[in-house]
Amino acid sequence: MTFIDLRSDTVTQPTDKMRQVIYNAQVGDDVYGDDPTVNELEEYAAKLVGKEAAMLVPSGTFGNQVSIMTHCRRGDEVLLGENCHIMIHEVGAAAALSGVQLRTLKDKDGELIISELISKLRGEDIHFPDTGLICMETAHSSGKVPSLFNMKEVYDIAKKHNIPVHVDGARLFNAATYLEVDVKDITQYCDTVTFCLSKGLCAPIGSIVAGTSKFINSARKNRKRMGGGLRQAGFLAAPGLIALKEMREGLKEDHKNAKLLGELLMDIPGVKVNLEDIQINMVFFDMKETDINSQALGDFFYKRQIKINGDENGIMRFVTHHWVTEKDVNYVVETFKEALKALKQY
């Protein structure tokens, strides 16, 4: 039996079909622009999100950072939510690579507060940095999806002040699935967007940046500067095409399994889940009132072929994905109950 891996949706292995298309992919040298499979993926991806052009990059972090580098000049200020990935989980890259200053706004699970956004736009004073970019994130790392209304409000203000908007849409298709909208209904409220092929969509490696042709042309140069000019990248683009064409539909199932997992966990004494917060494939819960800690639970699970992460400030996160079935969800919950019984005796 293989492991049930609830640590993230980044752990998803490529499907058999993906392995086949990798083997058979037609490739060229993408730095010369003549890898036909990369070109096909970039065209398909751009259309899918309603933008003129798109570019394959090695990771979501890379996509966000090349976007910041392309939108901004050194010393510019970037406005973004205080809990977003670019702020917390990208190793300070915006400062290190692009020399920009990040200025955080309070956010409600990814939704920016409009009055605060307006108050933090910079004026003309000679002392001030220029506001070079506004970033949003959907789905947010809290597992929640900002409303289209909030995204429109942010975008309208940005346009009024001539400031570009970048959306970190690592889980963009999860967001569209939750909102039951076409993904273009989301991306109409940004100038550029990054999304991951390598999370719930199961591709092994890669993310996409999309925007205007002019933007993507400049971004290609910055991608090269950052060491992201890949050669026979068609081997990554081929499973990427499968991800976008065939795997989006499956996200519904992942969301359903997350809901089920949340509901079953809620029945365990001492475990607190807020069911309304389960919008995509992530289940957050609090187990402080059980007698066991996350390390002990993790060790117990591991011996029973389940991988989980430890808690973050007392909050646990389980993530469902293509390789987690309804049966697995039931097994996880049964094993959780066993763990409580077994570990409480000490």
List residues binding ligand PLP (CB under 6 A). Answer: 59-61, 85, 137, 141, 168, 170, 196, 207
Q: Could you tell me the CA-to-CA distances from 164 to 3, 112, 148, 239 in Å, in that order?
A: 43, 15, 17, 31
Smallest gap from residue 240 Cβ to ligand PLP (A): 13
Q: Which residue is nearest to ligand PLP (CB)?
A: 60
Count Cβ neighbours within 10 Å for each residue of 160-196 and write b for 16 or more, e otherwise.
eeebbbbbbbbbbbbbbbbbeeebeebbebbbbbbbb
Count other Cβ atoms within 10 Å, centred on residue 294. 18
**Of 10 and 218, CB closest to ligand PLP:** 10
Give the helix ranges, DSSP H, for 188-278: 213-225, 234-246, 251-266
Smallest gap from residue 154 Cβ to ligand PLP (A): 16
183 token code pair: 């993904």
225 token code pair: 């500067």
Smallest gap from residue 59 Cβ to ligand PLP (A): 4
306 token code pair: 């389940």
| Cα–Cα distance for residue pair 252/263, rounded to 1 Å | 17
> Under 8 Å CB-to-CB from 270, ≥6 apart: which residues?
287, 288, 289, 290, 291, 340
Beta bridge pairs of residue 300:
none
| Cα–Cα distance for residue pair 344/346, rounded to 1 Å | 5
| Cα–Cα distance for residue pair 199/205, rounded to 1 Å | 9
Smallest gap from residue 80 Cβ to ligand PLP (A): 11
Smallest gap from residue 207 Cβ to ligand PLP (A): 6
Smallest gap from residue 170 Cβ to ligand PLP (A): 3
* Terminal Cα-to-Cα distance of the chain (whole angstroms): 29
**Of 282 and 333, CB closest to ligand PLP:** 282
| Cα–Cα distance for residue pair 23/308, rounded to 1 Å | 32
Smallest gap from residue 10 Cβ to ligand PLP (A): 6
